A and B are shown apart, each in its own frame.
Chain A
Amino acid sequence: MPTKKQLSFEDSMKRLEEIVARLDSGEAPLEEALALFEEGSGLIRTCSAALDKAEQKVHKLLPGPDGAPVEAEMEEMP
């Protein structure tokens, strides 16, 4: 079982699919089923929230004097 919070979106979706499949199979004992249901509901909340609040971030990257990336203005972007 994954530990604690903050799974990536991809891992959250994967876990969610697992949970639904396990619940659907009806094999989980009641205790586990309840825990799964709760975890699944939580994942749906966080995934939806992640989609809701996502705002595109655009950066322009240039190599600095030492070659390491330096962020620059995206001047001519709409």
Chain B
Amino acid sequence: MNARPVYSVTQINNYIKGMLDSDRVLTGVFIRGEISNYKVYPSGHHYFSLKDEGGAIRCVLFRREASSLRFRPQSGMMVVAYGRITVFPRDGAYQLYVSVLQPDGVGDLHVAFEQLKARLSAEGLFDLEHKKPLPKYPKRIALVTSPAGAAVRDMLRILGARWPMAEAYVVPCRVQGAEAPAEIAGAIAWVNAYRLADLIITGRGGGSMEDLWCFNDEGVARAIYASEIPVISAVGHEPDVTIADYVADLRAATPSNAAELAVPDQNEEYARLDYLKRRLAKAGGERLRQERIRLDRFSRCRALQDPMTWVQDRRVLLDYQRDRLTHALTAALGEDRERFARLAASLDALSPLKVLSRGYAIARGPLGVVRSVKDAAPGDELNLKVSDGDLSCTVNGRADSPGKGE
């Protein structure tokens, strides 16, 4: 034991570090595993472990490398990490210094896209209520795109053919590469700031997912969302869908399609004008025809042609009416007289005086008219009304009629 040298901790850590650092495998290795304990430190460095069913390895992703990540690593995510394995001498632990981190299976762009889409969607940037209606006849259209591409030529050609009345403003910006997102977002904000248009089309022709990537940028998405001028997105070909497409007020499949959606077709407007012209002529002509017919009717009428005849006619009519009135009055009077006699007779028959003359009397006691033996008690004063006067009486006794009353 004593023959062997004794190393300090630092010495042995450095020895191991030297071994690992000179190993050809460990200096550049791909490792597949599941992320766990993912943490971002205030320093900007990311710390996590990669694990599988058998074990785990500690990993560091320094701020510089982390800043080029296009997706957000999360615990539970399967990834492939590339880096070198070495020892961190202070605590004698080896770890993977990650320089490239990619989602396993799908590309990192894909994951980044889904993550951004989910985040912006949750924030409400894609909400339909936020979508602005497009002007039917835009007067000024800003094309936020590359001034050199085929896309801008297609759009100008179609805009010119369909609706030359709209002025087209090309607002040049790069649509590919690292500077593109800031330029696109800046151009949209600028067009808004100076109110340069009443409609914005932003997009580019087809390309790889990387080429179209600037339209998946959060800044571009927010610029479109913030735009008070309606925005049509027109990125790539039909199947390409970008974040910009989700935020835009209208998504066009291609730049050409955007131009078609942006303006009406002048041929259709000509046809519409023609139709309105015919209806106007018809409605106006019809109206005049009717007025002429009315006029004809008036002018054919006898009263206007020979006013004296009209007066004579009225005179005859007046005589005739007077006659009818007299007759009607006489007849009505005769009828009324007869009805009066009938009514008087029936009134007479109903009169209570008529009944009294046949020997009946009306007795009134303290409770009013006496209808029952219960309405008066012995000793009560009664007034008897007979046909020719009244009698005052006193009740001497009371007897119920057999079979009547209770």
Q: Are B170 and A8 closer than 8 Å at their CB atoms?
A: no
Chain B: number of interface residues, binned into ranges: 35 or more
Q: Are B137 and A69 closer than 8 Å at their CB atoms?
A: no
Q: Chain B contacts of A37 at CB under 8 A? A: 280, 283-284, 287
Q: Are A33 and B167 closer than 8 Å at their CB atoms?
A: no
B184 vs chain A, min Cβ distance (A): 14
Q: Are A58 and B283 closer than 8 Å at their CB atoms?
A: no
Is A78's CB within 8 Å of the partner chain B? yes
Q: Chain A contacts of B172 at CB under 8 A? A: 60, 62
Pair count A-B, CB < 8 A? 104
User: Given known contacts A62-B172, A76-B148, is B283 in contact with A24 (CB within 8 Å)?
Assistant: yes
Tell me the residues in window 1-43 of chain A with beta carbons closer than 8 Å to chain B beta carbons. 8-10, 13, 16-17, 19-20, 23-24, 26, 30, 33, 37, 40-41
Q: Are B196 and A9 closer than 8 Å at their CB atoms?
A: no
Q: Chain A contacts of B153 at CB under 8 A? A: 77-78
Q: Are B170 and A24 closer than 8 Å at their CB atoms?
A: no
Binary flags per residue of A44-78, CB closer than 8 Å to B gives 1, else 0: 10011011001111111111000111000010111
Q: Chain A contacts of B266 at CB under 8 A? A: 51, 54
Q: Chain B contacts of A50 at CB under 8 A? A: 165
B305 vs chain A, min Cβ distance (A): 24
Q: Chain B contacts of A60 at CB under 8 A? A: 147, 169-172
Is B199's CB within 8 Å of the partner chain A? no
B219 vs chain A, min Cβ distance (A): 18
Q: Are A63 and B291 closer than 8 Å at their CB atoms?
A: no
Q: Are A19 and B280 closer than 8 Å at their CB atoms?
A: yes
Q: Are B280 and A51 closer than 8 Å at their CB atoms?
A: no
Q: Chain A contacts of B41 at CB under 8 A? A: none
User: Given known contacts A17-B276, A23-B280, is B168 in contact with A10 (CB within 8 Å)?
Assistant: no
Question: Interface with A: B93-101, B156-164, B335-343, B386-394, which one?
Answer: B156-164
Question: Interface with A: B20-28, B110-118, B267-275, B355-363, which one?
Answer: B267-275
Q: Select the residue from B193, B194, B279 with max chain A CB neighbours within 10 A.
A: B279
Is B327's CB within 8 Å of the partner chain A? no
A71 vs chain B, min Cβ distance (A): 9
CA distance A30 to B277 in the complex (A): 19
Q: Are A74 and B170 closer than 8 Å at their CB atoms?
A: yes
Is B297's CB within 8 Å of the partner chain A? no
Tell me the residues in window 139-167 of chain B with beta carbons closer than 8 Å to chain A beta carbons. 139, 142, 147-148, 153, 156, 159-160, 163-167
CA distance A62 to B176 in the complex (A): 19
**Partner among B165, B276, B286, B287 whose Cβ is within 8 Å of the Cβ of A16:** B276
CA distance A23 to B276 in the complex (A): 12
Q: Are A56 and B273 closer than 8 Å at their CB atoms?
A: no
Is B190's CB within 8 Å of the partner chain A? yes
Is B300's CB within 8 Å of the partner chain A? no
B140 vs chain A, min Cβ distance (A): 9
Is B404's CB within 8 Å of the partner chain A? no
Is B64's CB within 8 Å of the partner chain A? no
B29 vs chain A, min Cβ distance (A): 49
Q: Are B167 and A59 closer than 8 Å at their CB atoms?
A: yes
CA distance A68 to B283 in the complex (A): 51
Q: Which residues of A contact B (CB under 8 A)?
A: 8-10, 13, 16-17, 19-20, 23-24, 26, 30, 33, 37, 40-41, 44, 47-48, 50-51, 54-63, 67-69, 74, 76-78
A-B contact pairs, 10 of them (CB 8 A): A23-B280, A24-B279, A30-B291, A37-B284, A44-B277, A54-B163, A56-B166, A59-B168, A67-B193, A74-B170
